[in-house]
Amino acid sequence: MANPTPKPSPTLILRVILRCWLCSSLAMGATYNVVNFGAKSDGKTDSSKAFLNAWAKACASSNPASVYVPQGRFLLGSATFGGQCHNKALTFTIDGTLVAPSDYRVIGNSGNWLQFESVNGVSIRGGVLDGQGTALWNCKNSGKGNCPTGATTLAFTNANNIAVSGLTSLNSQLFHIVFNGCQNVKVQGVKVLADGNSPNTDGIHVQMSSHVTILNSKIRTGDDCISIGPGTTNLWIENIACGPGHGISIGSLGKDLNEAGVQNVTVKTVTFSGTQNGVRIKTWGRPSNGFVRNVLFQDAIMVNVENPVIIDQNYCPANKGCPGQASGVKVSDVTYQDIHGTSATQVAVKFDCSSKYPCSGIRLEDVKLTYKNQRALSSCNHAGGASLGSVQPQSCF
């Protein structure tokens, strides 16, 4: 008869349980509540220092860590969250609202309100960012001329492996969310809210960045819902509701002579409601070595959009610095597939390309856009391409 397997002692079992609990706790990491660092949820007391101190603790942790913002309104001035953190899994969990100073002059010339710089593995979950930009918009719209530029609400600069989910950006002074020089970014379930007459309040702006994904978001603002700047590659945008606003724009590009190009961009399953533009490519009418190539606009619904499909390579605001010149930006291999809906103007498809470097490889496939229940028109200047399937308005290639 074999000897029975000895039973482990209660002491050994307890050691194993404690070891598992300790490992689990280390994996989950510590949570740093900003209130414990002196933050006040009254919306009046400047809590910037408390937030930065909580960040410093989380950043110094060698294990995954979280900064927690409970319910309430927390006033913050301009703040930069940076440094070489000891871990690459740092989460900002926000159940409350972060509020910018009501006097726009406090942060109006700071560039950014909240900035994450040179970070790796940061996630922001939930919360509301209230930029309180209404007074600054009124100043700009009044034409007074002495208004500050305004601050971007949330900026990521030279950051990698970033996730933003469930966040609401409200009434930004300037751009709402910006990614500049970033790699591997995922934005999901974001809401951007600002008046249709709010100037320069782009919803999400991406430039000099690669492998950025923007999903399942609703953007209502006074400028581009999403703007795509120089040096953007491998960008995926899907399931976006845009309007009011100026649409989804690649550009403006070509302001500088030496400029990084834009390539490998997909925009799909987007609804534009009452916007100034739908899907747009915009370049300055001046010399540049920039380019736009390998772009897919797919499955877009236009609802009373002024310029549903547009390439404008003669952008020259106030006719300064560019009249009479041709854009140097080369636009090629752009596909418009399954674009349907209504145009607010008779010309629903407009390709106004560079006279020096005409657009090439433009492809229209299964497009149906109408104007006041009638056929719309298309317009082409220096554009070449092909049409496949049913295309209305009739192609002008």
Hey, which residues are catalytic here? 246
φ/ψ of residue 174, rounded to 5: -130, -135
Token pair listed for 353? 């390309």
Q: Give 109's DSSP letter.
A: T
Dihedral of alpha carbons 42, 45, 48, 52, sign: negative
How far is 316 from 295, CA to CA, in rounded Å? Answer: 24
- How deeply is 24 buried, as exposed, middle or buried, from its count of CB atoms within 10 A (0-12, 13-18, 19+)? exposed
How far is 78 from 115, CA to CA, in rounded Å? Answer: 8
Query: Which DSSP string corresponds to 168-234?
Result: EEES-SS-SEEEES-EEEEEES-EEE--TT-TT--SEEEES-EEEEEEEEEEE-SS-SEEE-TT-EE
- How deeply is 175 buried, as exposed, middle or buried, from its count of CB atoms within 10 A (0-12, 13-18, 19+)? buried
CB-CB contact of 388 with 364 (8 Å): yes
Classify 326 as helix, strand or coil.
Answer: coil
Dihedral of alpha carbons 306, 379, 364, 296, sign: negative
Token pair listed for 134? 């209404």
How far is 68 from 21, CA to CA, in rounded Å? Answer: 22
Token pair listed for 300? 């877009």
State the pairing for strand pair 374-375/359-371.
antiparallel
In angstroms, the Cα distances linking 23 to 16, 65, 91, 263, 348 are 11, 14, 19, 44, 60
